[in-house]
Amino acid sequence: MNRAYIKDLGAHIGEEVLIKGWVDSRRDHGKLIFLDVRDGGGKVQVVILPGDPSATDEAGRAGHQSNAHELRDEWTIELAALVKERPAKMVNENELNGHIELEAKALTVITKAEELPFDNKAELNLETHLDYLPLTLRRERTRDIFKIQACILQAYRNSLISQNFTEFVSPAIVGGDAEGGSAVFALDYFADHKAYLATSPQFYKQIMVGAFERVFTVAKVFRAEKSATSRHISEITQMDFEMGFIQNELEPIAVLEQIMKNVCKSVIDNHGDILERMGIATPKTPNKFPIFTLLEVQEILEKNFNVKCIGEDDMAPEHERMICEWALKEFNSDFVFITKFPTKARAFYTYEDPKEAPLSRGFDLLFRGLEINSGAQRINDYDQLIDKIKSKGLRPELFAYYLQAFKYGMPPHGGSSTGLERFTGRMLGLANIKESTAFPRDMNRIDSLLSRADE
């Protein structure tokens, strides 16, 4: 018999099927044994009826419970079973396979598992969760998080491809720490050379604008910040795009708005069940996302929240939360764009129109109370860029490779960068960024706690 996938069982009522999967849980009720069995696509309830262990059925198979009593969580099994409709009062309409259950016919154990270090359904603190990730990644909540993340990734890329962007692979190893100051990891390269881990694909995507005009990359970036908070990890996934021949920052903003609409639609269409299971509201994406200048935001906050912040260069975290709360109420939007930050508060390559000085063409995108994205129109004039590098006390010769792109004809361009883990976390209301990182690295941990490695 060919294997059936658990998500498809609803189409096989009355038939005998063969499934394979993990014992997700086992409950003994009197003479009955109930299993939840899961495979890559879903979960189903199995009932094992009592039977004479030595008896065999018409196919010569052993009594159904002969080896069922030893089953434990996470064992992998192969199970021949009859697909039956559940009695009406047992139907759970909100669940995959909530209307069926399997009646076991023959059970084969594929692999056993050691006794679990904790009850598989118990809530765990984050450190324990991370210590046992190879096991805890199998929990429904964790699988739900990374199902959503996979969906975000693919929808983000698909949106850009449909908007005529070309993907490229940005490097992780870079030759210098040209910008200085930022927390950069150094590595031993060949022949006593030092190399560094990239903190951003920024320079490479700008270079690529010269080749393809519209480009994107999903790149790893690395931050050696000595901070052990719920927001810090040392290895981050960034989704970056960059586009040429723009008039101003409103064009990358429009591309990003389209991405966010497409991503949210894809999450809602494909994983509404997960949002419901996690108690998360569907993301609100109005036809036109609200766009405010920083000053407008500050005025709104003064007026509506009695907060004094006019004239500040950036937004405090609680102000991000307030403006998002307000935008949700006023515009039914989970997203808010903020523009016109002071140039001095942005990266050196951010464009400033002389008529708009001292304000820049940089922007942020807030989502449910948090900045998940930062973008801008960039400086595209070679001489202006050199002047800006010098004015920041940096050495243009360290940027010589990057600067070639500007020496040989660079159009006005801009783009943006979204943190995948942060976006996933906001989408699902997670308290710690490590929950939305499959294998998080931080100051104290690479898989296992580093302190433990010293013991």
Interface positions, 52-81, toward a second copy (CB under 8 A): 74-76
> Applying CB under 8 A, does 138 fall inside the site for a second copy?
yes
Select 40 or 429, whichever has its Cβ closest to a second copy: 40
Q: Rule CB under 8 A: which of 402-441 touch a second copy? A: 402, 404-405, 407-412, 420, 437-439, 441
Interface region with a second copy, contact rule CB under 8 A, candidates 93-101, 210-218, 255-263, 332-340: 210-218
Alpha-carbon distance of 3 to 17, in angstroms, equals 7
C-beta of 147 vs 265, nearer to a second copy: 147
Of the pair 149, 360, the CB lying nearest a second copy is at: 149
Give the Cα separation of 284 and 324 in Å (integer): 12
With CB under 8 A as the rule, give the number of residues binding a second copy. Answer: 99
Q: What is the smallest separation between the CB atom of 417 and a second copy, expressed in angstroms?
A: 16
Instruction: State in angstroms the smallest separation of the CB of 42 from a second copy.
Output: 11
CB of 208 to a second copy, least distance (A): 7
- Shorter beta-carbon distance to a second copy: residue 262 or 298: 262
Q: With CA atoms as reference, report the closest residue to 286 among 249, 327, 323.
A: 327
Q: Which stretch binds a second copy (CB under 8 A): 80-88, 139-147, 311-319, 385-393?
A: 139-147
Give, in order, the Cα–Cα distances in Å from 408 to each of 51, 265, 401: 81, 40, 12
Q: What angle do CA 50, 112, 79 make, to 5 degrees?
A: 45
What is the closest distance, in whole angstroms, from the C-beta atom of residue 170 to a second copy in the complex? 7
Beta strands in 168-234 (DSSP E): 173-174, 186-188, 194-197, 214-222
Orientation angle between helical segments 400-407 and 202-212, nearest 10 degrees: 30
d(CA 443, CA 134): 20
**180 lies in the site for a second copy, by CB under 8 A:** no
Q: How far is the CB of 183 from a second copy (least distance, A)?
A: 10
From candidates 29, 226, 308, 355, binder to a second copy by CB under 8 A? 226
- Rounded-to-integer distance, Cα 426 and Cα 219, Å: 20
Question: Could you tell me which of 237, 165, 226, 232 has the C-alpha nearest to residue 200?
Answer: 237
Residue in 177, 235, 320, 371 binding a second copy, rule: CB under 8 A: 235
Q: Which is closer to a second copy, CB of 190 or CB of 287?
A: 190
When asked if residue 262 is in the footprint of a second copy (CB under 8 A), the reply is no
d(CA 383, CA 385) in angstroms, rounded, equals 5
Contacting residue, 210, 286, 342, 396, with a second copy by CB under 8 A: 210
378 belongs to the binding site for a second copy (CB under 8 A): no
State how far the Cα of 159 lies from the Cα of 167, in Å rounded to an integer: 12
- For the segment 271-330, give every residue that binds a second copy (CB under 8 A): none
Out of 25, 45, 65, 149, the residue judged to bind a second copy by CB under 8 A: 149
Rounded least distance, CB 225 to a second copy, Å: 10
Q: Enumerate residues 96-135 that contact a second copy by CB under 8 A.
A: 110-114, 116, 132-135
User: What's the Cα-to-Cα distance from 106 to each of 7, 15, 63, 325, 341, rounded to whole Å?
Assistant: 20, 14, 8, 55, 67
DSSP for residue 62: B
Close Cβ partners of 80 (under 8 Å, ≥ 6 residues apart): 1, 16, 17, 18, 61, 104, 105, 106, 107
Q: Pick between residue 120 and residue 293 the one whose CB is nearest to a second copy.
A: 120
**Is residue 11 at the binding interface for a second copy, with CB under 8 A as the rule?**
no
**Which alpha helices (H) appear in 248-376, and where do they start and end?**
250-278, 294-305, 317-331
Residue 401 binds to a second copy (criterion: CB under 8 A): yes
Task: Round to whole Å and give the CA distance between 436 and 164.
Answer: 29
- Which residue in 25, 97, 159, 170 binds a second copy (CB under 8 A)? 170
CB of 49 to a second copy, least distance (A): 24
Select from 298, 296, 293 the least CA-distant residue to 312. 298
For a second copy, the closer CB: 174 or 366: 174
Q: Is 450 in the site for a second copy (CB under 8 A)?
A: yes
Q: How far apart are CA 162 and CA 158, in angstroms?
A: 6
Site for a second copy in 14-43 (CB under 8 A): 20-23, 39-41
Q: Which residue's structure tokens are 């999450």? A: 267
Closest CB to a second copy among 86 and 231? 231
Residue 207 interacts with a second copy (CB under 8 A): yes or no: yes
Residue 189 interacting with a second copy (CB under 8 A):
yes
Between CA 367 and CA 426 the distance in angstroms is 7
